Chain A
């Protein structure tokens, strides 16, 4: 495999908890606590986990929408955390984001055309307004919307159509990588598959790479080549999408997968129901973060943090079961 497009190494984002009149720092919320993964060109990397596990924070930290606390983000081998403001602005043409809520992600005061032309104006991509308009029309056609509707406002479109507009905006600068932050979880199930297929088609046409963030496992399996499972700010398991679904290694992944509904009432299977609540990321448990809820908990889990290791070729997990 050649040099991966995106390498994330030990990414951390801690949010300070401030208290009192002097706003001194009383603690830290470890939203993202040492996340590492790679995304090859043309690949889709899925990031799953329950809400609050830090997957969205991780996605936004990669784009520096939230400034990471520590770690390296290498895009084509360059650490984007070291870029100056002007270089970073250029880099933003390479990596874009599609948001979860199609109602909040489009400026209600702009027409669709203005929304799509905005990125071209920011990066001075075209000289004339006519060229920009032509490109906006092309973008709309690319995502399956009629260019004749480009002078309308976002509220005149449905949720699925708005999400297509959001995708078109991300494509306006010809990015190589798109971070899709739960792009379909706000949509109806019937519309979800349309948008997923669109993302799939675009990937083939434009040779895009995706970091696909979601909590819906069936959606992630459908679209991803490789998957990372996050728990409390850390990746606990990483591997090829099909293999990970077939034989999950980490007890947390096993529990997650057992919760996916199977559309066949004849199939009986054991459900692993997680006990207790998600611990606070401000005060994570000692040892393995998952041990208070783990069905296979051992003595060592309570005291020692499990190491990240390759359990099988291409399959990684952080769990004492595989020591």
Chain B
């Protein structure tokens, strides 16, 4: 710049930024800082998956083997010791190994039941929410009926008809448990379909499947993922309930619910038979709930920016 007067020497610019540039963090890091429990929940879930996958490697014994030296001379279970680190049950089996294999059953039922519910609930919810009218009324009345039944009783009845096995348990839970998912998906679809970008897609001549699956579905995934995560925990609990009632996983396959049920009979002199499976169940469900709650915050655009 031409300046006849001559520029005065520029003083070094003293800058003090309100937000120093080094503090730019990814959304992931910010969410973790704001909600450290998500991290904890995620770790617990990862640990559970690890245990379930590598149960065979981590277990010290065959979970179904009845050890001759696994019972005290009077026939009582052994308390935790060097050989059996969580003690033995009333048949002389290693509690630690059974607990690890029990994680497999719980996770399997929890995940597959939730996936079945997810599939049925999302499909019906989208149809109901997008098309509305008579179809919507029919689907919602069926949903009301599903929700009006005592859920556990319904599952018990269905499992009894199907004969108890791991796959029948998750099929029963999954096929009966979609109602809440359908309602939430329907509400989300009804909200999203009014957005102008959906109208714009219609104005551009998109086919209906494209609008439903390429435009609406991705925009309703956040609550669906949260709900599915929470449902896995719930369904694990439900599997334990069924096994505890004796119509779940059949002996000798180890399940946390059946371990609780068997341990209950000798609880007075072998309390570890309730402590360990009870604790495992609590931690697993807690992990999924923390993760689900955390994801809800993560997907909530108003909370963390």
Chain A residues in contact with chain B, CB under 8 A? 60, 63, 65, 88-90, 92-93, 96-97, 99-101, 104-109, 118-119, 122-123, 166, 169, 173
Contact B201–A118 (Cβ < 8 Å): yes
Known: A92-B205, A93-B205, A123-B205; 17 extra A-B contacts, CB below 8 A, are A89-B207, A90-B205, A92-B203, A96-B204, A97-B199, A99-B196, A104-B195, A105-B200, A107-B201, A107-B219, A108-B197, A108-B219, A118-B201, A122-B204, A122-B205, A166-B200, A169-B200
Q: Are A109 and B218 in contact (CB under 8 A)?
A: yes
A residues in contact with B207, CB < 8 Å: 89, 122
A105 touches B205 (CB 8 A): no
The answer to the question of B120 belonging to the interface, with a C-beta cut-off of 8 Å to chain A, is no
For the complex, would chain B's binding face be called helix, strand, loop or mixed by DSSP majority? helix
Judged by a CB distance under 8 angstroms, whether B37 is at the interface is: no
- Counting contact residues on chain B (CB < 8 A from A), the size range is 10 to 19
Q: Can you list 28 residue pairs at the A/B interface with Cβ under 8 Å?
A: A60-B199, A63-B203, A65-B199, A65-B202, A65-B203, A89-B207, A90-B205, A92-B203, A92-B204, A93-B205, A96-B204, A97-B200, A97-B203, A99-B200, A104-B195, A104-B196, A105-B195, A105-B196, A105-B200, A107-B197, A107-B215, A108-B197, A109-B218, A119-B204, A122-B205, A122-B206, A122-B207, A123-B204
* Nearest 10 interchain pairs by C-beta: A92-B205, A105-B196, A89-B205, A107-B197, A99-B196, A104-B196, A119-B204, A109-B218, A97-B203, A104-B195
| Residues on A with beta carbons closer than 8 Å to the beta carbon of B202 | 65
Asked whether B210 is an interface residue with its Cβ less than 8 Å from the other chain, the reply is yes
Interface pair B196/A101, CB less than 8 Å apart? yes
**Using Cβ atoms and an 8 Å threshold, which residues of chain B touch A90?**
205
Among residues of B, the one whose C-beta sits closest to the C-beta of A60 is B199
Tell me if B199 and A99 are in contact (CB < 8 A): yes
* Cα separation A108 to B215 with both chains bound (whole Å): 10
For B199, the chain A residues whose CB sits under 8 A away are 60, 65, 97, 99, 105
Complex Cα–Cα for A212 and B218 (A): 32
Closest to B210 in A: A122
Give the most central of B197, B205, B207, B219: most A CB within 10 Å: B197
CB <8 Å contact, B218 and A96: no
Task: Pick the residue among B197, B210, B215 that contacts A105 (CB under 8 A).
Answer: B197
Collect the chain A residues with CB atoms within 8 Å of residue B197's CB: 104-108
Cβ contacts under 8 Å, A104 to chain B: 195-197
Q: A9 to B90: give the CA distance in the assembly, Å.
A: 87
- CB neighbours (8 Å) of A96 from chain B are 203-204
B246-269 vs A, CB cutoff 8 Å, 1 = contact: the mask equals 000000000000000000000000
Q: Which of B76-123 contact A (CB under 8 A)?
A: none
Instruction: Give the distance in Å from the alpha carbon of A314 to the alpha carbon of B293 in the complex.
Output: 65
Bound together, the chains give a CA A166 to CA B196 distance in angstroms of: 11
A89 to B206, alpha carbons, bound, how many Å?
Answer: 8
Which chain A positions have C-beta within 8 A of B204?
92, 96, 118-119, 122-123, 169, 173
Interface residues of B in 178-220 (CB under 8 A from A): 195-197, 199-207, 210, 215, 218-219
In the complex, which residue of chain A has the Cβ closest to the Cβ of B204? A119
Closest to B194 in A: A104
Looking at the assembled complex, report how far the CB atom of B215 sits from the nearest CB atom of chain A, in whole angstroms.
Answer: 6
Which chain B residue has the least Cβ–Cβ distance from A114? Answer: B214
Using Cβ atoms and an 8 Å threshold, which residues of chain A touch B210? Answer: 122
Nearest A-chain residue to B201, judged by Cβ: A118
Q: How far is the CA of A102 from the CA of B195 in the complex (A)?
A: 11
How far apart are B183's CB and chain A's nearest CB, in angstroms?
20
Residue of B nearest to A86 (CB): B205
Q: Cβ of A99: which chain B residues have Cβ within 8 Å of it?
A: 196, 199-200
A108 proximity list for chain B (CB < 8 A) = 197, 219
Which A residues touch B215, using CB under 8 A? 107
Give every chain A residue within 8 A of B196 (Cβ-Cβ): 99-101, 104-105
> Chain B residues with Cβ under 8 A from A173's Cβ?
204
In the bound complex, residues from chain B placing their C-beta under 8 Å from that of A119 are 204-205
CA distance A173 to B203 in the complex (A): 11
Nearest A residue to B221 via CB reads A109
Q: Which residue of B lies closest to A105 (CB)?
A: B196
Residues in B with CB closer than 8 Å to A88 are: 205
